[in-house]
Structure 1
Amino acid sequence: MSHILDIKTGGKSLNEAEKALVMIHGRGGSAQDILSLSQHLNVEGYALLAPQATNGTWYPFSFMAPVEQNEPWLSSAVENVGKTVQTALDAGIKAENIYFFGFSQGACLTLEFLARNAQRFGGAVAIIGGVIGEKINRENYQGDFAKTPVFLGTSNPDFHVPVERVYATANILKEMNADVTEKVYANFGHSINQEEIELANSIVFK
């Protein structure tokens, strides 16, 4: 089985915008839900692109499960993020003007896509997520982010995402020349807080 490509849009049209924001929703969420978050971000004038996961989930098991347990959904999900990015590129938006925002399962998918396809992007925000797999396969991650700003926010503890995986992800992105800021909130819960939005705006959407 694989995901059907279904991109919901908001903001400016791709022909008018100079920047694009790819927004990736979490398990049980929707593209429309995550698009509504954009009203809190400094993304006026951006084209907003949010792919919808088939059946509301990008892959069936935990992101810390062995990768083969999440196939073929995981590969299809990564491919759909790539197709969403390609939609912006095809409209003439440069990679350095393409931004990302992902939450929870969507943050994991965002980070996995970016680490596999490192180059200079506009920036990325990943709230409660890390690269995917029971063990990290560093060989999967190639390229140079050329100082792309990345903000990682998370709660500790978090039922789904161990803080150790967030730190490990930050280290990989730094090795690949991303400009990473990570912020850990004690006992905040599995959600997005106001300070994370403010940091996203000051670090990435400036």
Structure 2
Amino acid sequence: MGGGSLSLEVISIPPNTGDAPKALIVMLHGWGANSQDLAPLSSLLNLPNYQFLFPNAPFPHSHSSTGRAWYELMNERSGEGLPESRKMLLDWLQSLEKTTNVPLSRTILSGFSQGGAMTLDIGLTLPFAGLVSMSGYLHPNLNFVGKNSFPPTLIIHGRNDEVVPLAAAINAKETLESMGVAVQYHEFNMGHEIQPPTIELFRNFVTQMIPD
């Protein structure tokens, strides 16, 4: 995909208290969107002491001049770019403690759609406070052999999702539970979208995982 050098541009929204962040929330956008897509959630979640980080996927989207992709989908090259995005995100996420002074144990990794899939792919390998997958799915052939400790995970999905079928969320839930992951699972009568009840669940999960 793409070609040339890859970079990870990030929108950073600091706490609106003016103080150092008490915790971090990282949000990964979906296929064809970009880092600006989820940025409005930083105010809707009403967590004034948190710093929000919205990375831009490294690859241009094949059908949108402004869209980005974590890897190719929907054609014979599906999955191309995943190893590169995985390594780039891992390196960046592991650098956050040094650049923000906030440990991963006080960081929530989250994502929507393809970003939700990347969240589960990478997040289960690192000691985050928690993971949030919205309208996401689980990559096939993930291997966590030998790992027996995972971040608590919130999975939210729409029953009427025509982009990522509900069955994908159910599969993720059952697979993660079989691995010993503490999963909170919620379905809503919605499509491939984020609605107010989703935001409320997200906020409640964050405040459970990161106490004052």
Contact in 2 for aligned 1:7/1:84 (Cα 8 Å): no
Distance 1:70 1:202 in 2: 33
Distance 1:183 1:3 in 2: 35
Percent of counterpart pairs with the same letter? 25
Q: How does 1:83-162 map to 2 (within 5 A)?
A: 83-91=91-99, 92-115=101-124, 117=125, 119-132=126-139, 136-140=140-144, 143-146=147-150, 148-162=151-165
C-alpha spacing 1:161/1:122, structure 2 compared with 1 (3 Å): same
Match of 2:187 in 1: 184
Which letter does structure 2 place at the counterpart of 1:192?
A: I
CA RMSD of aligned residues (A): 2.5
Structure 1 position 61 matched with structure 2 position 73: yes
- Tell me, which stretches of 5 or more residues in structure 1 are unaligned? none
Which letter does structure 2 place at the counterpart of 1:155?
A: G
Q: TM-score, normalised by structure 1?
A: 0.81
C-alpha spacing 1:123/1:140, structure 2 compared with 1 (3 Å): closer
Match of 1:30 in 2: 34
- Tell me, which stretches of 5 or more residues in structure 2 are unaligned? 61-67
Q: Tell me which of 187, 192, 195 is aligned to 1:193.
A: 195
**How far off its partner does 1:42 sit?**
4.2
User: What is the DSSP-based 3-state SS (H/G/I as helix, E as strand, rest coil) of the residue aligned with 2:36?
Assistant: helix
How many pairs align? 194
Structure with more relative contact order (C-alpha pairs < 8 Å, separation 6 or more): 1
**How far off its partner does 1:198 sit?**
0.9
C-alpha spacing 1:75/1:131, structure 2 compared with 1 (3 Å): same
**How far off its partner does 1:142 sit?**
5.6
Contact in 1 for aligned 2:121/2:142 (Cα 8 Å): no
Distance 2:138 2:40 in 1: 25
Distance 2:146 2:92 in 1: 20
Distance 2:145 2:193 in 1: 28
User: What is the DSSP-based 3-state SS (H/G/I as helix, E as strand, rest coil) of the residue aligned with 1:35?
Assistant: coil
Distance 1:153 1:77 in 2: 23
Q: TM-score, normalised by structure 2?
A: 0.79
Match of 2:85 in 1: 77
